[in-house]
Chains A and B, each alone.
Chain A
Amino acid sequence: MLNLRPGAVTVRTMVVGAALVTSLAAAGCSGASKASGGASEGPLVFGISADPTQTLPYLSTSTQSLQVLGQIYSTLLNTGPDLQPTAGLADLPKISGDGLTYTFTLKKDLKFGNGSALDSTDVKHTFDTIMDPATKATSASYFGSVKSVAAPDPQTVVVTLKAPDASFVSALSNVNTSIVPSDVPAESLTTKPVGSGPYLFESRTPNQSITLKANPGYYQGKPGLPGVQFRIIADEKAMVSALRSGAVDMAVFDNSVTAKTATASNVKVATVDQLNFHVLQLRADAPVLKDVEVRLAISCAIDRKQVLDTAALGAGKVTGPITSPAYRSDPDSRPCPQRDVAKAREHLAKAGKSSGVSFTMITSQGLYSTAVNEAQNIQAQLKEVGITVKLETLDSNAYVQRWLAGDFDAAIALNGGSTDPNTMYARYFTSTGSFNKVAGYRSATLDKLFAEGKATTDTAKRKEIYAKVSQELEDNAAWVWTYTGNLYIATSSAVKGFEPRTNGDLSTLWKATMSAA
């Protein structure tokens, strides 16, 4: 056999190769200490999973857009710890006796980040822009009851409603209704936002970061940090690594396992409730689910805790329809607070479907992590009472399209909550609501209750009304509400002064400071 006797040569070659790789590694490691040093002396680095897709507050829908814009812009009103409206750029409004006129008085010497004064003209401009159909603002629905906005003097804004709407005020603390300057064109704001929030826009590197600097003229006081940088780290595990290594100081997760992994001696994690709710939407408009007895059978056959435990490892709470902190539904007041297979069969028998029923349920892959698990668990639970579910797992875009078209019998959904129950459900369950076709259920009782709730400004009376709404929805099994998940706010232990709130609300981030690690 031919012997090339290459041993010595090939080993040497390998050594040279290895040396080259090592030299690259050495070059890479040369600055390692800088990378591991944490960020306590610079701006706070807030990790977000995607680049904000919108930079105009009134057009924003993505969580990341709202997180960033909430620091750049200010709203007319703010929220307290229970997410109820408090004074913001303006004091809480004076409401006329007929509930139609809201008068807001702006604080004095308000300024935008570009130095121009913020007065009632800017508020009127913002609200008029939102209400203009040409804007296609996602926040336009909040202003459905508004007839006109007037600015009689620089400090006064008068909003006149077409009909009383008690939920109107709660919308004014939403980032979507932030005040934009009237003298800066919208196109310019798209690339260079100008707000009156605690931090001012400094720079943006698309798909990498958005850097903000402290606004010395912020109306609530001096921000606690020299700046905030929103850094885009798409991979959740990479985000955890960045937190633990000190490259990122703050991030929000909705996955309990990720949150647990992130917890370390230098990272603390706070658990807060979410307003969003997980639900099995039943379309009563679908022939197979038209009969209330069939829907009640489905509702009684589902153990919500099991869904929560299976899909989200128990990280959340079983919920009723309303998740707004001040109006929260009692999940024990539903027809079957616990799973009741016998009662489910009874309802099926009353519907004349003792042999069982069959319907199609859509769920999404990629929209949020628990959707498929929820669907499969519910499918298995319903099978035990003779209800056959044909499961259609769709990619997120296909799901959204089918959902918007109301093209399904039932859907596993994660729907957005609100601090106000009217904002949360009127569009679904009033017969003229923009999503009533998707909800697939309406009744004269609900129309009447929502109208009453909207017209009532007294909080105690509103609570009674929305308790009835909740009961009506549950008694008719309009949908099957399952649970609300937790949200986890991870912060470096160097971050002080931030108050974690429901829904990952960042309105107190301006108070946060960072001590040297």
Chain B
Amino acid sequence: MSVLLMLTRHPVLRRVLEAALTLLGVSVLTFTLLRVLPGDQITASYGIEAGALSPEQLADLRAYYGLDQPLVTQYVHWLGGVVSGNLGVSATSRQSVLDMTVAALPNTLELAVLSIAIGLLLGVPGGLFAASRPGATRDSGSQVASLLALSLPTFLVATVVSTWLANTFGWNPNGEEFATLAQDPARNLQQMLLPALVLGVSIASPVFQTARASILAIRDEDYVRTARAKGVPSRRLQYRHVLRNALIPIVTIGGLQFGFLLGGTLVIEQIFSIPGIGRQVLLGLNQKEYAVVQSTVLVIAVLFVAVNLATDLLYRVVDPRVRAE
């Protein structure tokens, strides 16, 4: 008991414990939800032909897919495998889920990095720009643009833009076979360009709103006025005193968005045929491939928890007050 208390009191150990409990919760929830949904791998694979199978054949198939085991046994068996590095095997592609994830994750990661970079590059300067003259045309204009970017569904923008480019210029790199960054960097960047832009623009909006609000709040602080009175040059004031202190909420929103992106942007990956982790989950769901869905969702959850942890650590870098705590 005292060990547990000690663990919960230590800030880092407490975070690790929280993360482990979160992951356990995710694993139980995913496992349960998948089984609550109607249908199983047999109906997904055989469709209506499952009705022509004899009871013996059905029993054989249930045993083959491990569906004849009690739920607890299935769960423990799967989780035991995951802990020992075995994420299961896809019955459709005969690939291990680990191999599939290792192949899909870099694509999702690349898309996430590019999207977040575009989002930050558009959002943060946009926030600075708008906050420089609150209420002026540049401010209201930027806010309208930001709201527009937030309101337009990404799937709609993605479809319209890619269809227009294909029909007008015959340019449709995502119709080509997908190439990873290592295989063919030029083709890969072409294929990542549109999805990253579409996602980046949609991310830029909350980043912009956060940056603007945060900068507006900081610039009225006493220390900014003091610095200004002491004759600190404008640029130095802007970056060293205002932007740096406004970074915490921006880092938070950036971290959250990045975490979501690592979970795979299912719709965008689907529209642009990017073989990422979101698409892997979707295909797994369609085929009722329990191992694929459970293990991939768990990997996504691990990434999300890791990014959140990294964001917290980043606070310590950008804010000395957190370090002092």
Residues of chain A touching chain B, judged by Cβ–Cβ distance below 8 Å, are: 2, 4-7, 9-11, 13-14, 16-18, 20-21, 24-25, 27-32, 34-36, 50-51, 53-54, 61-62, 133-134, 136, 138, 140-141, 190-191, 205-209, 229, 231-235, 237-238, 240-242, 244-248, 264, 394-398, 400-401, 403-404, 427, 434-435, 438
Contact = CB atoms under 8 A, between A and B. Distances in A.
Contact of A6 (B57, B60, B128): B128
A36 B159 CA distance: 18
Interface of B: 37-39, 43-54, 56-57, 60-61, 90, 92-95, 100, 114, 117-118, 121-122, 124-126, 128-129, 132-133, 159, 162-163, 165-167, 169-178, 186-187, 189-190, 192-193, 196-197, 200, 219-220, 224-225, 228, 234-235, 237-238, 242, 270-273, 275, 279-280, 283, 286-288
B55 to A, nearest CB: 11
B190 A241 contact: no
B60 A134 contact: yes
Contacts of A2: 219-220, 224-225, 228
Given A6-B132, A17-B122, A51-B92, A401 B283 contact: no
Nearest to B52: A434
B167 A229 contact: no
B91 to A, nearest CB: 9
A11 B133 CA distance: 12
A209 B275 CA distance: 11
A400 B43 CA distance: 8
29 contacts: A4-B219, A4-B228, A4-B237, A4-B242, A6-B235, A14-B125, A21-B121, A21-B200, A25-B193, A29-B193, A30-B190, A31-B173, A50-B286, A61-B46, A133-B54, A138-B46, A206-B93, A207-B283, A208-B273, A229-B177, A234-B279, A237-B162, A238-B272, A245-B170, A245-B171, A247-B175, A395-B38, A396-B39, A434-B51
B121 A20 contact: yes
B174 A238 contact: yes
A406 to B, nearest CB: 9
Contacts of B128: 6, 9-10, 13
A35 B172 contact: yes
A488 B92 CA distance: 28
A10 B190 contact: no
Contacts, number: 217
A31 B270 contact: no
Nearest to B57: A136
A32 B173 contact: yes
A270 to B, nearest CB: 21
Given A136-B60, A244-B166, A438-B51, A207 B93 contact: yes
Contacts of A7: 132-133
B48 A400 contact: yes
A191 B45 CA distance: 17
A404 B51 contact: yes
B175 A21 contact: no
A178 to B, nearest CB: 17
Contacts of B225: 2
B37 A397 contact: yes
Contact of B162 (A13, A206, A238): A238
Contacts of B197: 21, 25
Contacts of B175: 35, 231, 233, 238, 241-242, 245, 247-248
Given A27-B189, A235-B271, A247-B176, A21 B171 contact: no
Contacts of A30: 186, 189-190
Given A6-B238, A36-B169, A36-B172, A51 B163 contact: no
Contacts of B283: 50-51, 207
Contacts of B234: 4-6, 9
B163 to A, nearest CB: 5
Nearest to B267: A235
